[in-house]
Structure 1
Amino acid sequence: MHAAIPPYTLRVAQAVQYSGVDRTSLYLAMKDKKLAYLKRGKVRLIRVSDLQRWLDSLETSEGEGK
């Protein structure tokens, strides 16, 4: 039995499931250059590390005003 290897990149639909963030917000973050992505043909791939970094920045910015 082999251990599952976690993915290095996610497609947008996978990133939605992984993060719980809606698709539109992900696309806006990519458009605004707040979330880095790779483009392979027509497919956008998001590094898991970049997605986690972006999510952490959301928590930080929301928590500062409280």
Structure 2
Amino acid sequence: MYHLRVPQTEEELERYYQFRWEMLRKPLHQPKGSERDAWDAMAHHQMVVDEQGNLVAVGR
């Protein structure tokens, strides 16, 4: 079963951004930090986790 959650803690946000970089930016050889932009402060962030707490998807 999967759970849709809003990242709440600093640790969850770091995991969220790390996952976003690994899936979207790293394959394009973009530097860390490129996964964040000015819209993040206004966006509604979501993450999907599995039963073990592993991230399987993120979005905003």
TM-score where L is the length of structure 2: 0.29
Q: Which has the higher helix share?
A: 1
Higher alpha-carbon Rg: 1
* Greater RCO, 1 or 2 (C-alpha within 8 Å, sep 6+): 2
